[in-house]
Structure 1
Amino acid sequence: MTQFSVLDLVPVREGGTLSEAFEASVSLAKTADRLGCMRFWVAEHHAMEGIAGGATSVVLAHIGNATSRIRIGSGGIMLPNHTPFQIAEQFGTLDALFPGRIDLGLGRAPGAGPELQRALRKDLHAAAEYFPQDVVELRALLTGDVELPIKATPGLGAKVELWMLGSSLFGAQLAARLGLPYAFAAHFAPDHLDAALELYRRDFQPSEALARPHVMVAMNVFAAGTDDEAETLASSQQQAFVALRTGTPGKLKPPVEGYTTGLPSPQRAMLDHLGQAAAVGSPETVRAKIEAFIERTRADEIILCGSTYDPEARIRSLELTVEACSQTIAA
């Protein structure tokens, strides 16, 4: 049986406010908690007016206060943007506030141009080269498995569940070597999915944290009453993907019926390519596509992605998906 989780970008929609975006994320997290989902993750992005999760640990504290059972965490923290010590303090604090519920998903991609690098006072591309060492240092700051000249308080002794995130073979190799659970970002970068999972499972080395490989894969999922309704619902995120790939990102746009039919062929091809890690349609269609994806990947968990212009529509999509896949979800 496969567990379901939720990934949220804290989208800011056209005509909306930051406060509304944060409250929409809380409502979604409360729904995921009520439905029995395993985790609710927030992604770190910076300097993007349509995504409000830049201060990820602060957003997670807000969500933690509104939920009671579901694990909350980062999907992910881009470690080159920070120091391991800062992240140990932040997530050690979260663990003290919400014991036994905190995940720390780590990514290597700097994801930043020169303006953001200057704002963060870091050479992010150089910092990315030290990512493996920084992961080991961060783990030591939390667990004390390597003696360091300084202790993080909060941080040391925190029961934070570390995850490695990736969209290439690099993350799979590092997760296998360190014995960490692995989450693959197929929702926006599906190219290396099969090879990365094969490498991770083949080379996995057990650790104190994890005895056997554990895989989570991200999917874009939009469920509605009919296939056509779901396709329209998904068009807001499709517009966001196109805007990002063409260098014009902005706030989340309202849905457009038949959006893809008028797109130039390169943009349609890009969306079709991303569709291999997507389930869009009626509950029956979504269930069939998710089950086929699980059969392909043998994922232990599926993390559901997909921003909608109407926050209530995403809540309803999650409810329909969980109900339709109730026989697939782990008890």
Structure 2
Amino acid sequence: MPAAAARAPDTNANAAYAAKAAERTRLSADAAAAVADAVKSRIERIVNDTVMQELGELRGMMEEQFDSLMWHDRQRRSAVHGALTKHLFAAGFSAQLVRMLVDNMPAGDGAQTFEQAAEWAQSVLASNLPVLESEDALMERGGVFALMGPTGVGKTTTTAKLAARCVMRFGASKVALLTTDSYRIGGHEQLRIFGKILGVPVHAVKDAGDLALALSELRNKHIVLIDTIGMSQRDRAVSDQIAMLHGANAPVQRLLLLNATSHGDTLNEVVQAYRSAGEHPDLAGCILTKLDEATHLGGVLDTVIRYKLPIHYVSTGQKVPENLYVASTKFLLKSAFCVPRDGSPFVPQDEDMPTLLSALTARSTAELHEVRFG
């Protein structure tokens, strides 16, 4: 009896040990299963990502091959299409607009030669290019105009040129100049010198309160021109400047100066930055500057067509007031179609076209949905 009683605790201890061992085995199995599931999930993600990447690359290759086939087929069927495509690219127009023009080019007698095709393209661009053509309505209406744009685009000089045209038309007593450019060294003094030559008063303002007071004092002037601070389109203070101009309790029409030598992507950014977000009136129009320095005008014309931004004037040099002209559709398009010679390293060749058409079509964030073709 005592021996049997002594063995009972040993049996219970063995049973407990066995139960703990079984629990450890089960937990180890669960942990192993969890690790296996995690590894499997990770492998599946890696495989899926790799497959998706390869599919994306394959799609890109197929699109490039397709564009290449389309380009060579178009060249085979009509060398005029190919020549016009190259010419428009060389002129600086975006791939999106180039494809839209070439895809809608009429077949048959309307475009048998490159000259006919180019004439048709110019007519389409002319019907979509918002140009003031005559300054009579602008001058007679008068009002307050603020010239805006990035640094170095020519705001102060253009303000002086425009002021000179107004003085010649209405007299110095009907014109006034304002400047918000108190930061650039010599900027304020440069405008004062122009004002003294023209016999026009120049006032400096630093905020919306100053601007409101100045415009109230100048309410009897026929035209008031504001030379604003130049700042990068990526400067957050651009929105503050717009708010200041529209916070003066007077209607201010904003004219954006666009540098014709700038790349299309840069011009696209500039217009987007200087347009209002909806709480203020949009841009009234634009003035194209530095046309005398630009190799091609396609980029700037593409931009104004894209944003339907009326061109009021063009500037072709530093002389005041000689180098400011009312915009002319014929002059702008004729200048745009005078492209660099084939020897230029920036003019695309036949072998470059498929890649260009494939890669550049969707670069712009503003779509060309409303181009008119007739």
Identify the structure with bigger relative contact order (alpha carbons < 8 Å, sequence gap 6+): 2
**TM-score, normalised on structure 2?**
0.29
Larger Rg over CA atoms: 2
**TM-score, normalised on structure 1?**
0.32
- In proportion to residue count, which structure has more strand? 1
- In proportion to residue count, which structure has more helix? 2
